[in-house]
Amino acid sequence: MRYDGKSVVVAGAGRSGIAAARFLLARGARVILTDTQSREALESRIAPLRDIAAQTGELALELGGHRTETFARCDFVVVSPGIPLTLPVFTASREAGVPILAEVELAYRHLQGRIIGITGSNGKTTTTALVSRLLLGAGLKAYAAGNIGTPLIGFAEDSSPDAVYAVELSSFQLEGIWEFRPYVGTMLNLTPDHLDRHAGFDAYVAAKRRIFMNQGRTDFAVLNADDAKTAAMGTDMKAGVVWFSRLKIPARGAFVRNGRVVFRDETGERDLFGVGAVALKGIHNLENVLASCAMALLSGAAPESLEESVRRFSGVEHRIEFVSKIDGVEYFNDSKATNVDATIKSIEAFEGNILLIAGGRDKGGDFTVLRSAVRERVKHVVTLGEAAEKLKTALGDVTDVSAARSMQDAVSMCRQLARPGDVVLLAPACASFDMFEDYEHRGRAFKEAVRGL
């Protein structure tokens, strides 16, 4: 499909916005790239787009703010996940009858091959990475895409019918889909998150649930049988429901029995491997492995191919990532723990003696929910950023709490407080945008500070 003569607003000059702009320019569109950041801040990202526009398409820049009239006078808008759809500029688009598409929706309309869509509150990135590894290990052509790093639109140009794309999807991306239809859609779990962007937990769940809205009888919905909110979705799915569970034995799906991972469907049971093959820390990661195995098998992976890939998979960056051991103290980076439930899971991955670095921009989470896990396993909390005082109020009577001025300061404080056998864990329970570009920037800052010791 060409876009000659079409005027398209691309809202946001992050990874997905730049990738969408590149794709549209190459197909002859007039792209208006808009962002609240300045031209100087974005110059390095924009320069390659100018090169494409010199050959095909046309590039216009509206930087330092969004212009309402632009959003009302175009053929359609492609929105990046970091931009709330509640902004007045999108109201202007809707009133003018201008379609608003997520980048993954644009990609879906051009992509060849099958899509596995993965969402949930926690574990998306780890699961997306593992699914792609399992498929590759089974000899299939597979890619990881979406929030995991490479926008899905980046694969559209060279996509092929025999490829499988495992796509990590946020609630923000799912708000902007209309035709997007994964042949496997997965909901890992549901806990309160992004309540600063959504009008409450129910609105957040409704956005997540959109992953299943276009599925039919030939598709699959993979659901967590151990998560009440997720399990309740299984009663009215159009797709075939496949479960994963650590605690139950479902009629169809992946589960644990006598220390073994088993998959059951209408053809019978397959014993896959022992749980000892899972190298990842934390019982939540066993759930991620179960979900991943179910998705891989539904995609055509041979059961006997899975164990080796599971054994080799040690996780992804910024997810309970081992950084170093210094003077008998281990340092772990879980910067991706951006909500309260993720931080609890991170804490519970260790037996105790934790010095926890937490804080950042509050996403509307209830920090008092951390109290039980902190009381049992955390000996000291070092707070950072805008949420520091709120964290101290929530946790100050269950453990010692100190405030740090910077990540380097936080790591230095933990170094002074820690004793051999302790664990220093970055698991912030907050967004990163008060002090860092994103959670990856925050995680790298932590690792640099640790290595500086």
Whether 2 is in a domain gets the answer no
Q: Which helix H or strand E contains 423, and what residues bound it?
A: strand 423-426
How much is the pLDDT for 149?
Answer: 74
* N-terminal to C-terminal alpha carbon distance within the chain: 54
User: What single string gives the DSSP state of each residue in 332-364?
Assistant: EE-TT--SHHHHHHHHHTS-S-EEEEEESB--S
User: What single string gives the DSSP state of each residue in 231-278?
Assistant: HGGGGG-SSEEEEEESS---SSEEEEETTEEEEEETTEEEEEEEGGG-
Dist CA 76 CA 8 (whole Å): 5
Whether 176 is in a domain gets the answer yes
Residues 185 and 239 in one domain: yes
For position 14, which CATH number holds? 3.40.50.720
Whether 367 is in a domain gets the answer yes
Whether 402 is in a domain gets the answer yes
How much is the pLDDT for 199?
Answer: 62
Which two tokens mark 274? 């022992």
Residues 107, 113, 114, CA angle at the centre, nearest 5°?
Answer: 90
- Do 357 and 428 contact (CB within 8 A), yes or no? yes
Dist CA 324 CA 453 (whole Å): 10
Q: Which single residue is written with the structure tokens 């998705």?
A: 295
Show which of 312, 347, 366 is a domain's final residue.
Answer: 312
Residues 167 and 293 in one domain: yes
Whether 1 is in a domain gets the answer no
Residues 111 and 94 in one domain: no
**82-110: pLDDT as tens digits:** 888 889 999 999 999 999 999 999 999 99
Show which of 312, 341, 360 is a domain's final residue.
Answer: 312
Which two tokens mark 198? 């959504």
Burial label for 361, CB within 10 Å (0-12, 13-18, 19+), is middle
Residues 269 and 166 in one domain: yes
Whether 266 is in a domain gets the answer yes
Residues 142 and 244 in one domain: yes
Nearest to 337 by CA among 147, 145, 121: 121
- 3-state DSSP assignment of residue 115: strand
Whether 33 is in a domain gets the answer yes
Residues 426 and 343 in one domain: yes
| Full domain range(s) for residue 200 | 105-312
Nearest to 378 by CA among 412, 402, 361: 402
Dist CA 321 CA 425 (whole Å): 10
Residues 211 and 115 in one domain: yes
Q: What residues contact residue 26 under an 8 Å CB cut-off, 6+ apart?
A: 52, 56, 57, 157
Whether 116 is in a domain gets the answer yes
Show which of 312, 331, 351 is a domain's final residue.
Answer: 312
For position 158, which CATH number holds? 3.40.1190.10
Mean pLDDT for back-to-back runs of 10 residues, the chain (453 residues): 93 94 96 93 92 94 94 96 89 96 96 97 92 97 89 94 96 93 96 64 91 97 96 94 96 96 95 94 91 98 97 88 96 94 92 96 91 97 96 96 97 97 97 91 97 94
For position 358, which CATH number holds? 3.90.190.20
Q: How many domains does the chain have?
A: 3
Residues 128 and 49 in one domain: no
Residues 295 and 330 in one domain: no
Nearest to 299 by CA among 132, 153, 154, 147: 132
How much is the pLDDT for 144?
Answer: 96
Residues 84 and 126 in one domain: no
- Do 338 and 428 contact (CB within 8 A), yes or no? yes
pTM tops 0.85, yes or no: no
* Edge-first strand listing for the sheet containing 378-384: 321-326, 329-333, 423-426, 354-359, 378-384, 400-403
How much is the pLDDT for 1?
Answer: 80
Dist CA 90 CA 203 (whole Å): 18
Residues 167 and 281 in one domain: yes
**408-420: pLDDT as tens digits:** 999 999 999 999 9
- 3-state DSSP assignment of residue 137: helix
Residues 128 and 212 in one domain: yes
